[in-house]
């Protein structure tokens, strides 16, 4: 059998499924069936055979043989572990829709569920269900939610002056739009602030607070969304000044420095599922997810006269925006996030948000009428980048006149305005945002190419030795650091931190790989940072230039950055010393063509929505033969006809490299090939049989080994 490369990794390497279903003592029975017998008192081979001769035993065996061995594993995991419980289950479960699906599902479908840890009836029911209001967690389980709700209710009742401070990315902008619209509906007139990435940087700052108190002393409450947890200087200031309170709705990890900052929790209220004392069952809501929970909690506590302002569907109508934020911020699509995104994509098809509807019409023509489902790909790669674009690109890129070019115009609020605008403003804003996004793509490609050209001979050494790429430049655009870092992580599978350098500081953005918790490892070096925050896979940080009284000017300036870089490389090389750096492919299970029935295409749709934490199922197939090769789009893609077990299927391989093109052109005839692939229904097929459409394979990687002897 053809070997497979070591960077193709099964998600169930430690416990192969076939071994779970095997038994040396009674080869005609599966291990789960034996467990059921043993738990029922039939703990010897002779007892089992004696039981199977009885009418009850014959009836039970006929019943159990109708169902998959994999289903028996699920039943055992769910506590149905003896004959009586199994019989009761089959008597009472026929009416439940999710169970009906299990009874007629393929082994492939059930094995993927098991491999992904969805291994009990309760978990499967939760995974497959169409979300209802009662399925979401109680918002008051979030830390400090009661305090935050009471404080904002006081502000609403007293008609206090409120300012909403939100981050400049899609998650922060959506969070700001959600709470702004909610407070406007209650008759308040809140102010808002979307900071300038270049001038203001990430998070609410002490400089901003002091300026606000000078220019807008009437503001008595700030609601921070998608930021604020790590603003320790602001916490200390609020603690000492009695005329301003802050509520933080955030989801970023809380640094040690912020945890140790002493504050009055009734004055600086942090609602964050990442709080170490949080009892909330799920830790990975987006910033807008936490804001949504905050609005939900307020609605639950409003008196009836104010509550009547809102339609019954008010919260549900918000879920399209919360879903966009969850996908845009790469939050794992598991647990409650899966429910939010699943329902949110349904709402998005017929969104009531005027600006969002106009944006969808502009970039996804045909889908704005709700005739076709929007996918996580549509959101993550088409909608979200446009909402993010104004926060990344300065207005000088738009060809302003010389007078206007003399300062940085903060265009980040354009996306916020799009999400709260009426019909007359929407089209103009969409056009401007699309322009900014096109400029963003050009600038991003240019920055990436320059980094690759400059460091093309260094990356191999970094992969082998220092295990991380850290670099700085005065030329890079600060708003593109994270995007380009992501590009480099995808290409080389090593953590990357890029810094924009100026005279006084280094502002950085980092992206990481699964094996390296960027937040935790950076947190060990937080003594170097003026600002720092983020997640396991993405972080932002600022290092002030370290000026000393003695020594050359350049040495003074770079000292702190260089010390950080040296220590971070040491941390990465130690933590990743046993990790083989390089691109990895994780597959769910090994199959052959006989397993790929047309009905599988429909079954796999139950795993949607796909995204971080819930990827599209990937399959491995060995011993394939390529029978036909057709290159497409100037050899950018290739269509293949593949033979396995006497059957043929069409496959397509997108965005192939020049190396793969040459390999395919020169592959010897009848060479065994292993492929990693997704399965999709052939939507262009006209003739659909009883099982459904035929399947096509989307190849992710292809491997063959030539014997040179």
Residues 271, 144: one domain? yes
Q: Kindly state the helix (H) or strand (E) to which residue 267 belongs, with its residue range.
A: none
Q: Kindly state the helix (H) or strand (E) to which residue 74 belongs, with its residue range.
A: helix 69-77
Neighbours of 445 (CB within 10 A): 13
Does residue 403 register a pLDDT over 50? no
Question: pLDDT (tens digit, 9 = 90+) per residue, 110-123?
Answer: 889 988 888 888 88
Residues 616 and 609: their CA atoms lie apart, in Å, by: 9
DSSP assignment letter at 480: G
- Among 3-12, 327-336, 666-675, the minimum mean pLDDT is found in 3-12
Residues 286, 212: one domain? yes
Cα–Cα distances (Å) from 521 to 101, 491, 524, in that order, read: 44, 22, 6
Residues 48, 153: one domain? no
pLDDT-based confidence at residue 296 (cuts at 50, 70, 90): very high
> What is the residue-averaged pLDDT of the chain?
84
| Domain assignment present for 183 | yes
- The CATH number given to whatever domain includes residue 682 is 2.40.50.140
| Domain assignment present for 213 | yes
Residues 76, 192: one domain? no
| Domain assignment present for 346 | no
Higher pLDDT, 170 or 81: 170
| Domain assignment present for 475 | yes
Secondary structure (DSSP) of 570-606: HHHHHHTTTS--S--EEESEE--GGG--THHHHHHGG
Residues 653 and 703: their CA atoms lie apart, in Å, by: 13
Question: pLDDT (tens digit, 9 = 90+) per residue, 25-70?
Answer: 444 566 777 777 777 777 777 777 787 778 887 777 777 777 777 8
- The CATH number given to whatever domain includes residue 527 is 3.10.310.30
pLDDT-based confidence at residue 483 (cuts at 50, 70, 90): very high
Residues 159, 278: one domain? yes
Neighbours of 253 (CB within 10 A): 22
Pick from 516, 507, 518, 509: nearest CA to 483: 509
Residues 147, 231: one domain? yes
In this prediction, residue 90 carries a pLDDT of 80
| Domain assignment present for 463 | yes
pTM (two decimals)? 0.85
3-state per-residue secondary structure call for 434-473: HHHHHHHHHHHHHHHHHHHHHHCCCHHHHHHHHCCEEEEE
Q: Kindly state the helix (H) or strand (E) to which residue 57 belongs, with its residue range.
A: helix 55-64
Residues 174, 304: one domain? yes
| Domain assignment present for 410 | no
Q: Which of 575, 599, 618 is the endpoint of a domain? A: 575
Q: Where in 340-495 does DSSP place strands (E)?
A: 469-473
Round the CA-based radius of gyration of the chain to a whole number and report it.
28
Residues 416 and 90: their CA atoms lie apart, in Å, by: 53
In this prediction, residue 549 carries a pLDDT of 46
Residues 108, 145: one domain? no
pLDDT-based confidence at residue 155 (cuts at 50, 70, 90): very high
In this prediction, residue 395 carries a pLDDT of 45
- Average pLDDT on 629-643 reads 90
Does residue 345 register a pLDDT over 90? yes
Q: Which of 259, 278, 312 is the endpoint of a domain? A: 312
pLDDT-based confidence at residue 398 (cuts at 50, 70, 90): very low
Neighbours of 207 (CB within 10 A): 12
In this prediction, residue 371 carries a pLDDT of 64
Residues 534, 473: one domain? yes
| Domain assignment present for 631 | yes
- The CATH number given to whatever domain includes residue 205 is 3.90.1640.30
- Among 37-41, 165-169, 544-548, the minimum mean pLDDT is found in 544-548
If one counts the domains in the chain, the total is 4
Which residue in this structure is represented by tokens 């170490």?
A: 276
Q: Which of 312, 341, 371 is the endpoint of a domain? A: 312
Residues 82, 160: one domain? no
Q: Residue 38 belongs to what domain range? A: 27-116
| Domain assignment present for 414 | no
Residues 514, 616: one domain? no
Residues 635 and 654: their CA atoms lie apart, in Å, by: 10
Does residue 580 register a pLDDT over 80? no
Does residue 21 register a pLDDT over 60? no
Burial of 311 (0-12, 13-18, 19+ CB in 10 A): exposed
pLDDT-based confidence at residue 409 (cuts at 50, 70, 90): very low
Question: pLDDT (tens digit, 9 = 90+) per residue, 508-531?
Answer: 999 998 889 999 999 889 888 888
Three-class SS of residue 672? coil
In this prediction, residue 10 carries a pLDDT of 81
Residues 606, 561: one domain? no
Three-class SS of residue 354? helix
Residues 415 and 436: their CA atoms lie apart, in Å, by: 11
Task: Select the highest-mean-pLDDT range: 33-47, 138-152, 183-197.
Answer: 138-152
């Amino acid at each position: 059998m053809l070997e497979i490369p070591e960077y193709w990794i099964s998600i169930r390497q430690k416990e192969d499924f076939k071994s779970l279903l095997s038994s040396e003592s009674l080869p005609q029975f599966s291990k789960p069936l034996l467990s059921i017998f043993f738990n029922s008192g039939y703990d010897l081979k002779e007892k089992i055979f004696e039981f199977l001769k009885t009418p009850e035993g014959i009836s039970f065996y006929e019943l159990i043989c109708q169902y998959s061995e994999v289903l028996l594993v699920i039943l055992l995991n769910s506590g149905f572990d003896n004959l009586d419980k199994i019989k009761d289950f089959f008597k009472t479960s026929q009416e439940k829709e999710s169970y009906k699906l299990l009874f007629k599902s393929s082994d492939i479908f059930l094995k993927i569920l098991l491999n992904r840890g969805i291994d009990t009836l309760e978990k499967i029911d939760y995974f497959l269900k169409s979300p209802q209001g009662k399925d979401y967690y109680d918002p008051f389980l979030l830390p400090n939610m009661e305090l935050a709700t009471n404080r904002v209710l006081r502000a609403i009742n007293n008609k206090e002056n409120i300012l909403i401070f939100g981050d400049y990315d899609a998650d922060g902008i959506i969070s700001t739009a959600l709470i702004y619209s909610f407070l406007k509906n209650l008759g308040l007139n809140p102010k808002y602030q979307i900071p300038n990435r270049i001038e203001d940087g990430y998070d609410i700052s002490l400089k901003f607070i002091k300026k606000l108190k000078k220019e807008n002393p009437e503001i008595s409450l700030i609601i921070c969304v998608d930021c604020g947890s790590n603003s320790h200087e602001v916490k200390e200031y609020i603690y000492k000044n009695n005329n301003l309170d802050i509520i933080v709705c955030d989801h970023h990890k809380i640094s040690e420095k912020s945890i140790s900052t002493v504050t009055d929790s009734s004055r600086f209220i942090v609602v964050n599922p990442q709080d170490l004392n949080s009892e909330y069952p799920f830790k990975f809501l987006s910033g807008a997810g936490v804001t949504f929970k905050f609005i939900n909690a307020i609605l639950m506590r409003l008196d009836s006269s104010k509550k009547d302002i809102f339609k019954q569907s008010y919260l549900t109508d918000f879920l399209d925006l919360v879903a966009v934020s969850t996908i845009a911020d790469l939050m794992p699509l598991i647990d409650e996030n899966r429910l939010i995104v699943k329902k949110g994509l349904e709402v998005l098809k017929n969104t009531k948000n005027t600006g969002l509807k106009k944006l969808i019409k502009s970039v996804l023509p045909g889908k704005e009428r709700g005739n076709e489902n929007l996918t996580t790909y549509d959101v993550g790669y088409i909608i979200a980048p446009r909402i993010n674009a104004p926060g990344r690109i300065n207005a000088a890129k738009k060809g302003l006149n010389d007078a206007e070019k003399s300062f940085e115009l903060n265009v980040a609020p354009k996306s916020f305005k799009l999400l709260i605008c009426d019909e007359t403003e929407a089209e103009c804003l969409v056009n401007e945002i699309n322009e900014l996004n096109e400029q963003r793509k050009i600038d991003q490609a240019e920055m990436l190419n320059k980094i690759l050209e400059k460091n093309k001979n260094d990356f191999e050494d970094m992969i082998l030795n220092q295990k991380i790429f850290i670099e700085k430049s005065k030329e890079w655009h600060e708003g593109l650091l994270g995007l380009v870092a992501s590009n480099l992580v995808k290409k080389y599978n090593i953590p990357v931190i890029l810094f924009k350098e100026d005279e006084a500081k280094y502002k950085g953005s980092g992206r990481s790989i699964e094996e390296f918790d960027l937040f935790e490892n950076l947190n060990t070096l937080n003594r170097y940072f003026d600002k720092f925050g983020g997640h396991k896979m993405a972080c932002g940080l600022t290092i002030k230039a370290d000026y000393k009284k003695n020594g050359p000017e350049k040495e003074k300036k770079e000292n702190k950055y260089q010390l950080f870089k040296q220590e971070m490389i040491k941390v990465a090389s130690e933590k990743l010393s046993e990790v083989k750096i390089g691109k990895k492919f994780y597959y769910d299970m090994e199959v052959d063509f006989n397993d790929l029935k047309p009905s599988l295409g429909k079954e796999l749709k139950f795993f949607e929505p796909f995204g971080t934490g819930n990827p599209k199922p990937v399959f491995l197939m060995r011993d394939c033969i390529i029978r036909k090769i057709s290159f497409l789009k100037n050899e950018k893609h290739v269509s293949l006809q593949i033979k396995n077990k006497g059957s043929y299927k069409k496959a397509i391989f997108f965005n192939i490299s020049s190396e793969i093109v040459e390999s395919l052109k020169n592959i010897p005839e009848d060479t065994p090939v292993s492929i990693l692939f997704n399965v999709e229904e052939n939507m262009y097929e006209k003739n659909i049989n009883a099982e459904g459409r035929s399947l096509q394979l989307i190849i992710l990687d292809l491997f063959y080994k030539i014997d040179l002897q």
